[in-house]
Structure 1
Amino acid sequence: MTMTTPPGWYPDPGLPGTERWWDGTVWTAHTRAPDGQVFGPPPVAVVVAPPARRRGPLVIGAAAAVLVAAVVGAVAFRGGDGGGPQPGPAGSSVVASGTVNSPSVQPSSGPSADPRTLVDQLNGITLPIPDGWEKTDDPVSGLVTMATKDTYDCPGDAGFCHHGTVTTSTATMTDLTTAEAVAKHDITDAANDAYDHDPVGSRPYNGITSHREVKSGSVVVDGRTGYLVRWQVRTGAGPGGYVESLAFPSTVGSQAMVVARFAFDAGPGGPSLALIDTVTRGIAPIGGGRNGGVGTSLAPPSL
């Protein structure tokens, strides 16, 4: 059985005395001192480790659970492509200059767990966990994820679905440099991952049948100007939902774009859309406080 090393901070194989972030698939440009101080990217080339599995899903499917249990001993959330809006081509994450094996030691410990706070160590941010929500581990993608505690039988293919999910990640698979471009590019993948296919081709909602943009524009996230795109998607089964891609500059490491994805059901059990803005306003640096930056005069757009 082939097991992948989980995301985390590990000793940099090419720069002694430094730790580098392993995202579960490749070494990234994010580095830090062993005491936790984050640096920018070092003046050395970062190399790509052997390819691993693709970004994971946001809903638990029965077939997916069986597959992932056999591989990693855990359930997988929904993701994929197909009948709904199609994703754009994938880019490359970092520049290769040789071969480096994945880390084989335990990652450095992060901030202590708080059931009310979702911590994204890589991007140096925290998100408030709303009442009725909880942090959920995604062993397939390694994405920082929270979801509603309550689940229900998916209206399409068999499985269990969440009424709402939120994930954060670093936009390393693209050469886009602005928050607007990243958000507009990501929304298609976000919709597919939330409401179209799961990793084994099942359709918890019988796939996406149509979508429309309901909101887009600039927004302040942790004192920096970001951009959001929100779609309403209709599905072959169930009420469909709302998907948002929110992109904003990271204040740590290489200052790559951070992407937060929101997926909220549109039915009676779905969370209020106002909660998206509440979570967005609550994004803060690890350790508290607020970052200053371009766009501090903006306010989150109203519903």
Structure 2
Amino acid sequence: AAGPGAGRAKVVALVAAAAVLVAAIVTGAVVLNRGDGTTEAKTTPTPTPASTEPTSDTPSPSASTSEPSADDPSVVVDELNGITLPLLDGWVRPENVVENDVVMTTPGTYTCPGDDGICRHGKVISRTVTSNDEKSPEALAKGDISDAADAAYDRDLIDRRPYNGIESHQLVKQGPIAVAGRTGYFVRWRVKTGAGPGGYVQSLAFPSSVGSEAPVMVRFVFDAGEDGPPLADMDRITKGIRPVGDADTGGGVGNSVGPTQ
């Protein structure tokens, strides 16, 4: 049987082993201790997610290329009537224009050949018809052309006669035409004036494609002669009228702008 000395030896051995373990722990802590007095914790790095944004193969929404904006240099937007008109070479957005509803003009001005004033070689005007309850594009265009000619080449807003009045007019052509996918009607006159080369005036009527579909009247005023815009621009602008947000609408009944018999 083991004596009391053997028991004491076991106790001493256990105490010694514990002391060695404590020394090892202290040594490890000292090794991990930085020179700046802080203790560096060893942890397993947590992966950082690359992005919190959801990924998708579908492109993010962007402005439609078929929907022109006010900043689009190729068109003029008439929000009231829900249409856009092409801004061709040789035409600019209106600046310093007294008349209402002018959507484009030729660049620059010149001294009117009649009463003192400033004239332009070309204008396009777009307005909503509110003066009567007529809905027929043909009746509206035929009823408007005389007023359009007078406003352009007879008397201006302050009763001056920039071209010394209208001496005569001649019907150039008229007929049904598709405008912005709707059936419209146009009438074009050649106007002879007392001073200057005269000009061409066109009234184009068609129903709007927005709201109550109120009739829209687009007037074209082109000086004749070498300084006036190409007469073909009337046809190009007419053909290029589109509903706002639909750059591909066109064609339809009466797509020709040729004269009717």
Q: Give the TM-score of the pair, scaled to structure 2.
A: 0.69
Q: How far, CA to CA, are the matches of 1:269 and 1:291 in structure 2? A: 33
Shift of 1:231: 0.7
Deviations 1:12-61 (A, max 9, x none): xxxxxxxxxxxxxxxxxxxxxxxxxxxxxxxxxxxxxxxxxxxxxxxxxx
Relative to total residues, which structure has the larger helix share, 1 or 2?
2
Partner residue in 1 for 2:254? 298
Shift of 1:291: 4.5
Checking the alignment, whether the CA contact within 8 Å between 1:211 and 1:233 is kept in structure 2 is yes
Shift of 1:111: 3.8
Partner residue in 1 for 2:50? none
Shift of 1:113: 2.6
Shift of 1:290: 4.0
Q: How far, CA to CA, are the matches of 1:197 and 1:273 in structure 2? A: 23
Partner residue in 1 for 2:167? 209
Shift of 1:175: 1.6
Partner residue in 2 for 1:119? 77
Partner residue in 1 for 2:10? none
Checking the alignment, whether the CA contact within 8 Å between 2:175 and 2:258 is kept in structure 1 is no
Cα RMSD of the aligned pairs, angstroms, is 2.0
Checking the alignment, whether the CA contact within 8 Å between 1:207 and 1:236 is kept in structure 2 is yes
Partner residue in 1 for 2:199? 241
Superposed, 1:24-103 pairs within 5 Å as none
Relative to total residues, which structure has the larger strand share, 1 or 2?
1
Shift of 1:207: 0.8
Shift of 1:145: 2.0
2:152 is the alignment partner of 1:200: no
Shift of 1:132: 1.8
The one-letter amino acid paired with 1:299 is: N
The one-letter amino acid paired with 2:109 is: T
2:219 is the alignment partner of 1:283: no
Q: How far, CA to CA, are the matches of 2:98 and 2:92 in structure 1? A: 18
Partner residue in 1 for 2:220? 262
Checking the alignment, whether the CA contact within 8 Å between 1:115 and 1:135 is kept in structure 2 is no
2:92 to 134, 142, 151: 134
Identical pairs, percent: 54
Give 5+ residue unaligned stretches, structure 2. 1-67
Give 5+ residue unaligned stretches, structure 1. 1-109
Checking the alignment, whether the CA contact within 8 Å between 1:120 and 1:144 is kept in structure 2 is no
Q: How far, CA to CA, are the matches of 2:257 and 2:131 in structure 1? A: 28
Partner residue in 1 for 2:44? none
Checking the alignment, whether the CA contact within 8 Å between 1:191 and 1:243 is kept in structure 2 is yes
Structure 1 or 2, whichever has the larger Rg, is: 2
